Amino acid sequence: MQTNTSNPALNKNTFANLAREGERMTLGGTVNKTAILLALSLITAMWVWGKFFADPSTASVGPLMLVGAIGGFIAALVTIFFKRAAPYTAPVYALLEGLAIGGASAVAEMRYPGIALQAVGLTFGVLVCLLAAYKMGVVRATDNFKRGVIAATGAIALLYLVDLGMMLFGHPIGFIHEGGPMGIVFSVVVVGIAAMNLVLDFDFIESGVQQGAPQYMEWYGAFGLMVTLVWLYLEILRLLGKARK
């Protein structure tokens, strides 16, 4: 029996009722697809980055960030509900998310020089270290581990929703956005939980391979990893920004 993950793209129904025709999903293929998606997001992120530093104002990249955020959300929903379309929609998602990430990174870089490179390095460092720990059996996605990560992620999502509602009335939750000891501790916790979600993603992708999922699910698995990596990167960027305030 599989346990849900907190990643909406990788849950207990991800590999259910899939036709088992043709070539099968492999770990190597999923890794390659993930690399392609990361490269695509980097292309659009660097393009937005260049536009911002050519005209350093939020107005120059604000619309692109909005298109990226909303378009990426729509592309993610299409991918989740139409898994067979993942070879086409996952690259679109990566390109759109690159717009949002590139804009957010450029704005942060203008305020805190060097922060974007630090955030990228830490994100990939966390990914590599957790993947190695998972493959060596140091970190295992046990049922209790999964339940704990899912519960924590759900609590963070609920808190962010409450904060969004309070922002509409001009009273956001301070420690989510501000620096100081409490704000930094909160961001450290969120980064840790986002990182633990990678372990759940590894486990679910491995389960898909073991179940003989069709080859197009390599793109879907890569998309699921991208969802978590984007969240992890943005949270690390937020944490580094708080630490510099």
Backbone torsions φ then ψ of 145, nearest 5 degrees: -60, -45
- Mean pLDDT over residues 148-162, rounded? 93
pLDDT at 75 exceeding the cut of 90: yes
pLDDT of residue 178: 85
Q: Are 198 and 130 in contact (CB under 8 A)?
A: yes
55 or 116, higher pLDDT: 116
pTM: predicted TM-score of the whole model, two decimal places? 0.88
pLDDT at 105 exceeding the cut of 90: yes
pLDDT at 173 exceeding the cut of 70: yes
pLDDT at 60 exceeding the cut of 90: no
Retrieve residue 159's tokens: 């808190």
Residues in the chain: 245
pLDDT at 5 exceeding the cut of 60: no
pLDDT at 1 exceeding the cut of 70: no
pLDDT of residue 2: 46
pLDDT at 71 exceeding the cut of 50: yes
Q: Are 52 and 100 in contact (CB under 8 A)?
A: no
pLDDT of residue 10: 56
pLDDT at 201 exceeding the cut of 50: yes
Task: Point out the least confidently predicted range of 10-19, 97-106, 170-179.
Answer: 10-19
pLDDT of residue 175: 85
pLDDT of residue 139: 87
- Mean pLDDT over residues 101-105, rounded? 94
Is residue 16 classed as helix, strand or coil in its secondary structure? Answer: coil
pLDDT at 12 exceeding the cut of 60: no
Using only C-alpha atoms, what is the Rg of the chain? 18
Backbone torsions φ then ψ of 22, nearest 5 degrees: 70, -160
**How high is the mean pLDDT of the chain?**
89
